[in-house]
Amino acid sequence: MVEKNKICVFLPNRSELLIQTIESVANEMNIELVLSEGKFKESGPIAVKILHDNPDITAFIARFNSAAFIRQSVDIPVVDLDLDLFDFALALNNNCKTNKSPIMFIQFKGSPKIYDVNLLSQVSGVEIVPYYAEQMDFERDYSVVVKEAGLNRVITSVSSVSNSCENNGLDVIFVPFQKDNIKDTFQRAIDEGITYRKRLAYRTALSESFNKLSDGIIAIDDNDRVVECNDILLNIFKLNREAIIGHYPNYIKYRWPVLSHMINCNDNEIIEFQGKKYAINSLPSFSTDIIAKVRTITNISELQKKEQQIRKKIAEQNFTATSYFADIITSDSGMNELRRQSKRYASTNSTILITGESGTGKEVLAQSIHNASPFANGPFVAINCAALPETLLESELFGYEEGAFTGAKKQGKAGLIELSHNGTLFLDEISTMPMSLQSKLLRFIQEKQICRLGGTQLIPINNRIICASNRDLIESVRDGSFRDDLFYRLDVLPLFLPPLRNRGNDVYLLACRFLEEKYKEFGYNYPIPKAQIKCITEYNWPGNVRQLKAFIERIAVLSDNGFITETEVRYQLSNLPVLKSKEQLNINNVNYDEKGKSNLTDKEIKKKASEDAVKEAYLKHHGNIKVCCEELQISRTTLWKRLKEMGLDKSIFS
């Protein structure tokens, strides 16, 4: 059943014909009608009472003078019951076919609509004599004005003019409201009511959203009028909503200069109000047909407290390992062997070194080892050595005592090594660790005890260390950027994570798993489009699992509620950057210009590719000649010859 629109009409007169026409049109358009009387200033308070008694009214209709007063009193749409010049011309044509004598047209100064008398005269062929009264006066006898002008005819659509002139014997042409005119007015009222309800729902949702934010929020329209705000802003400035909602900038500036400054100042500006400092900013790209801009006000001291809380929570989250060996999805024999070997390593407390390209899942493997180890009930403390400068990295790792340096906490701070006691310390991107810290780390590994910065007490630590690197640490040892003695201490139990492109069908298996996760997260009901995504195996995924996971999320988000076509997948694949892997680029020896042209000859490039394949196999299988020969499909003699040319031998594993 279609819901009825409830509309209140302020009758411009008590004409039975008009009332019948309005009721007939309302019935045709399935409108629930409320009729009322009240003219000009008295119409505002009457509308307020009607809306109180009928809160489901969606719009008011009234003549334009009354409509202006109603708009000042209510928020819902108010539509003018309007007559245009054609209606007056039609009335003149119907009533002046035989009598073309001059006729007076009385209008009111300040009225929202003034009709063009000269144009009306030209169209009708009747001389129109205009008269502009200062204001509407229901007690005035307008026939006097007509008679003083030497006329005995008047045209009007205002009942008070019509009544006074008819009562004094004048010829009155009263312009009626046509059915089509009333129907158009009702339709405008319906349309504006729908728009108003949508905007009201939007503003309600917006208000609820604003009140969930921790910052003060104020929304402004194109005229710099306040549209919405939240409770936090009201509390900051000690205001109530009615005091500012709907008001224009001059009023705000006069009453609350600080609030006005907040609305108009630049982003990132700091203001002070009642002894507290606040940062002012804008919400980016926030533009609708209702709101032009949204400003935020943030209590700086509260922001600093929250930042500290967030840092603490992040630190606590970093102390938990969430990945397990069961989470490693693979059908690749090499990966299955890696998992089997990792499980064996997990049962010990020896140091593990995981190498592999960026995005291959080194931390996932490290967490899995932790959760399968004797240290599983302890913390998993992870730190990226490349993320912090040398001075900060040292204090984060080893901690510090009170007064160790300027800005140090009064009570000192435990370092990550200390926090990893009875757990696992995961050092990611270990190759980037500064040489000065490498020696301290080596000493800790050997002695299993640390001394905080600025301290004298040795603190014993029982933990397992897992390191990871996306660089070849042997090369780093050779170029002098990594200590050889530290490398030997770390490389007790080495693990090599192969790039995704070398893991056979794993690209497809992982893509299906990631899609399942995203479909569940987004609430999609479509089955997983396994056939449509098989084409992803044609891409070499230089960013490995990390890049694949991001790509799958992209196509899931862009899908039609989970419906994915192979065409769309291929299109998204075509938009991926054409990056080459480390092996393909051989970044240490081959340079490519902006067009991708190498500085080497084709023969040299083929030789480098062959060397890289040998090197990868040799490292992956830890010098196992038989397995390397089988993978590379070359003889032992050829392999030994190439290893000798490349300077690789068993010593790198000792």
The 10s digit of each residue's pLDDT in 461-498 is: 889 999 999 988 888 898 888 999 999 999 999 999 99
Instruction: Compute the distance between CA of residue 357 and CA of residue 497 in angstroms, rounded to an integer.
Output: 8
Residue 317: its pLDDT value, please? 52
Nearest Cα to Cα of residue 123 among 111, 114, 115, 132: 115
| Exposed/middle/buried for residue 570 (C-beta within 10 Å: 0-12, 13-18, 19+) | middle
Which segment of 79-83, 307-311, 371-375, 621-625 scores lowest on mean pLDDT?
A: 307-311
Residue 598 pLDDT > 80, yes or no? no
Per the structure block, which two tokens stand in for 417? 């090594």
Residue 595: its pLDDT value, please? 34
Residue 195: its pLDDT value, please? 85
pLDDT class for 109, splitting at 50, 70, 90? confident
Residue 610: its pLDDT value, please? 66
- Lateral strand order in the sheet of 5-10: 31-36, 5-10, 59-62, 78-80
Per the structure block, which two tokens stand in for 331? 């059908």
Which segment of 104-108, 382-386, 586-590 scores lowest on mean pLDDT?
A: 586-590
Nearest Cα to Cα of residue 372 among 437, 328, 433: 328
The 10s digit of each residue's pLDDT in 227-251 is: 888 899 999 998 888 888 877 778 8
Q: What is the number of other CB atoms lying within 10 angstroms of the CB of residue 364? A: 18
Q: What is the mean pLDDT of residues 306-315?
A: 55
- 335 and 397 in contact (C-beta within 8 Å)? no
Q: Which amino acid is at 20?
A: Q
Phi, psi of 133 (to 5 degrees): -75, 150
pLDDT class for 405, splitting at 50, 70, 90? low
Residue 654: its pLDDT value, please? 44
Q: What is the mean pLDDT of residues 630-650?
A: 76
Residue 416 pLDDT > 80, yes or no? yes
- 131 and 105 in contact (C-beta within 8 Å)? yes
Judged by DSSP in three states, 356 sits in coil
Residue 650: its pLDDT value, please? 56
Which segment of 172-176, 294-298, 332-336, 615-619 scores lowest on mean pLDDT?
A: 615-619
Nearest Cα to Cα of residue 399 among 457, 462, 352: 457
pLDDT class for 211, splitting at 50, 70, 90? confident
pLDDT class for 137, splitting at 50, 70, 90? confident
> Which residues, 6 or more positions from 466, have their beta carbon under 8 angstroms from its beta carbon?
351, 352, 353, 354, 366, 369, 370, 424, 425, 426, 427
DSSP state of 413: B
Selection from 167-176, 209-218, 547-556 with the highest mean pLDDT: 547-556
Residue 403 pLDDT > 70, yes or no? no
Instruction: Compute the distance between CA of residue 459 and CA of residue 228 in angstroms, rounded to an integer.
Output: 57
Residue 274 pLDDT > 50, yes or no? yes
Which segment of 190-194, 406-410, 530-534 scores lowest on mean pLDDT?
A: 406-410
pLDDT class for 600, splitting at 50, 70, 90? very low
Which segment of 61-75, 77-91, 576-590 scores lowest on mean pLDDT?
A: 576-590
Q: What is the mean pLDDT of residues 255-262?
A: 88
The 10s digit of each residue's pLDDT in 502-545 is: 998 999 999 999 998 898 888 888 888 888 888 888 888 989 99
Residue 429 pLDDT > 80, yes or no? yes
Residue 410: its pLDDT value, please? 55
Residue 8: its pLDDT value, please? 92
pLDDT class for 581, splitting at 50, 70, 90? very low
Residue 591: its pLDDT value, please? 42
Residue 318: its pLDDT value, please? 57
Higher per-residue confidence, 465 vs 68: 465
Stretch (H or E) spanning 276: strand 276-282
